Chains A and B, each alone.
Chain A
Amino acid sequence: MKVKFKLFCNISTHLVLIICVVIALFPLFWILRTSFGSRMQALTIPPQWIFFPTLENYRAVLFGEFPRYLINSFIISAVTICVTIIMATLSGYAFARYEIPYKENMFFFALTTRMGPPIAFALPYYLLYNRLNLLDTYLGMILIYMVYNLAFCIWMIRGFFKDIPKELDEIAMIDGCSQIGAFARVSLPIALPGIVTTAILSFIFTWNEFFYAMILTRKATQTYTVQMPAFIGFMRIRWEEMCAAASLALIPVVILAVIGRKRLIRGMTFGAIKE
């Protein structure tokens, strides 16, 4: 009897999980499916479950304007993350190891950039960038995304460094390392997976960002998030091409998520929950 009950629990657990997974993955599946179908298939119901896939939509998207926007997104995100992570690693280490007055207040204030409504920051930046001719420039976008990410990265990396006992550094310094040396040779390598995860998470958030991109870019540096709705605009509504574009845009984030899956949850909870 007890065995049966345990088996039932097991099966029902897995059943629940499978249902969750199906629900979680269905929209992505649907987008992919539409992207490989023709216009007819996108617009007919009942849907044809089995059909001959076509690469026509991908061809149309790749030979159109869209890759340019993907590249813009990539340039902006990549540069932002690189600079931010370097700054955050150094600062995070300092905050973790040393006594700095008003630490917590500073953090809370800085985190408002991440938690606050985008409108509160987009407005002054819109007006200021206008004056400084920074609208629609790579520099402008990188700066604003650095603001968006820096506080968060410092917070997270500080947490990772705090997990490493001070003693390890002290031992290294006793062995003759300078402070920088202790940092570079002992703490940094241990904290590296965490730092990488933070970088991945920041990249994902920057890649996915819409509001600042919409307000602060025009033609030259426009990111793909702002261009997505253009597939369903005037003249014709091209859902199937939009799905192809979406699939392409999701590739980087999916890959990154799979790579960093172990600690992503910790990142999303601002370090409160450790796995």
Chain B
Amino acid sequence: MFSASKQLKYYLILPSIIFLLVMVIVPLLYTIILTFCNYDLTKPQQGIVFVGVNNYVALFSNTRFWYALFRSVYYVGFSIGVSFVIGFGVTLLLGGTVRFKSFYATALLIPMIMTPVIIGLGFRFMYHPDFGILPYLFSLLGIKNIDLLGNSQWALISIILTDIWQWTPFVIAVLYAGLGYLSREPFEAARIDGASHFQVLRYITIPLMRIPIATVLVIRSMDAMRAFDKIFMMTRGGPGLATETLSIYSWRVAFAWFKMGDASTMGILMLLIIIAISNILVSIITKG
């Protein structure tokens, strides 16, 4: 019965397919082609020059690129790691006793939907060494004169903390929902067998929650890899190179120095990394 509607189904999806083809594939191809060219907007006489894999070679021998890549990876690892631990911890603590669709749920939604730009500027205000509320609170605890965004060691961590603040509720929500779906039986059985809390956690809870955990890790790592707005608002990559992640560096190459070929190369590399991360994570976790 449904297959008789061959024409209908194509009518329904054709606009979307065409739109996406034109608007996604074509620009992406353009970017990929640019990665094999030199295109400096401030040197229009040279135009677009084909250079083969030169951009990739130059990029891999550029220490600043490796710094930026390292910083991006550090950002992702730290952010997901901490928010996962906190999120999982809170989830286990709540243990399905609280109905999540309540006042708490709405309150925890707020960080997730706040504009990253506003979060960045807001935290920059709160971190300010002269009049920020957070250094003040720290001073009450006895830690005086800290410079959260100006000290190269703390700058990146301070920014990662805002990322953790924003997305831990997400981790909590997803894991909590996942936990809610588990049946009680395995837990009952384990308790009867005398398993410790830790063993329950390791051999039952985590394996059964593979899918929510994988979901959270994949989505968070993709988002954290691309993080731009908050860093841009707080330090623009400074001081020095302390907070320059790949996204910030590629922005600078493209829109401060107008080197489109080099920037495209970085963009495509970032895309490949993101695809690789999601594939790896999904296969590792859903295999077991």
Contacts and interface: CB of A to CB of B under 8 A. Distances in A.
B136 A45 contact: yes
Contacts of B34: 123-124
Contacts of B119: 27
Interface residues of A, number: 96
Which of A24, A43, A121, A256 has most chain B Cβ within 10 Å?
Answer: A24
A235 interface: no
B9 A100 contact: yes
Given A24-B169, A115-B278, A118-B228, A123 B267 contact: yes
B16 A154 contact: yes
A61 interface: no
B20 A147 contact: yes
A98 B110 contact: no
B27 A28 contact: no
A98 B9 contact: yes
A91 B12 contact: yes
A42 B9 contact: no
Nearest to B170: A268
B51 interface: no
Interface of A: 9-10, 12-14, 16-17, 20-21, 23-25, 27-28, 30-31, 34, 42-47, 87-88, 90-91, 93-95, 97-100, 106, 109-110, 112-113, 115-128, 143-144, 146-147, 150-151, 154, 170, 173, 179-180, 204, 207-208, 210-211, 215, 225, 228-229, 232, 239, 242-243, 246, 249-250, 253-254, 256-258, 261-262, 264-265, 268-270, 272-275
B254 interface: yes
Interface in B82-125: 90, 93-95, 97-98, 100-101, 104-119, 121-123, 125
Nearest to B128: A239
B254 to A, nearest CB: 6
Contact of B109 (A116, A123, A173, A264): A264
A67 to B, nearest CB: 17
Nearest to A107: B20
Given A24-B108, A100-B9, A117 B274 contact: yes
A112 B178 contact: no
Given A13-B98, A87-B19, A211-B228, A94 B9 contact: yes
B13 A100 contact: yes
B37 to A, nearest CB: 12
Contact of B250 (A23, A119, A121, A273): A119
Contacts of B260: 123, 127
Contacts of A215: 255
B contact face: mostly helix, strand, loop, or mixed: helix
Contacts of A115: 222, 226, 274, 278
Nearest to B253: A119
Nearest to B176: A265
A117 B172 CA distance: 25
Nearest to A97: B2
Contacts, number: 267
B275 A112 contact: yes
Nearest to B111: A24
A13 B27 contact: no
A161 B274 CA distance: 29
A268 B121 contact: no
8 contacts: A34-B125, A100-B9, A150-B20, A179-B2, A208-B113, A242-B125, A257-B106, A261-B105
Contacts of B174: 265, 269, 273
A272 B94 contact: no
A210 B30 contact: no
Given A45-B133, A112-B24, A123-B31, A257 B2 contact: no
B1 interface: yes
A211 B23 contact: no
B173 A119 contact: no
B198 interface: no
B81 to A, nearest CB: 18
B121 A232 contact: yes
B19 A20 contact: no
A143 B23 contact: yes
Contacts of B226: 115-118
Interface stretch (B54-62, B185-193, B211-219): B211-219
